[in-house]
Amino acid sequence: MVQKILRAAVLTALTLTFSAEARVVRFIVEQMRTFAEGTSFGSVGQYQRLDGTAYMEVDPRDPLNAVIVNLDKAPRNARGMVEYSSPFLILKPVDMARGNRKIWYGINNRGNCIELSFRAFPPGHPPAIH
């Protein structure tokens, strides 16, 4: 079930409209832990927090990527691509059958932690992440 959530997160991220184009090459969950000290949220119940790293690459020769500043100066791998990574955080119900089959994700901005506000969830659902 964790793999289905991760696939959904990657597919969602890849379908966003950007000027530049990148490819996810690895998606690694490094830590799984109980969220909010095991607090139960409405009919969904407890949530689990998945923390990890998404590894990506971008083609510096692709004209769509010309908007990325100094991309042409970055080191390249054996395939001629520029590699980079980003942390990710996913909240998911412990019992996936009790969830609504939707995913909440955030995009890191300059390495800052993804933060979800109280207003991002309806009443009775997970609070902010710090």
Predicted model pTM: 0.65
Instruction: Tokens for 30, please give them.
Output: 């490094």
> 54-97, pLDDT tens digit by residue?
999 999 999 988 888 999 999 999 999 999 998 888 888 999 99
Examine the pLDDT at 7 and tell me if it is beyond 70: no
* Contacts with 28 (C-beta within 8 Å, 6 or more apart), sequence order: 52, 53, 54, 55
Examine the pLDDT at 30 and tell me if it is beyond 90: yes
pLDDT grade for 18, boundaries at 50, 70 and 90: very low
* Contacts with 127 (C-beta within 8 Å, 6 or more apart), sequence order: 36, 118, 121
Q: What residues pair up with 92 in beta bridges, in sequence order?
A: 48
The mean pLDDT value for 48-53 works out to 89
* Mean pLDDT estimate for the chain: 78
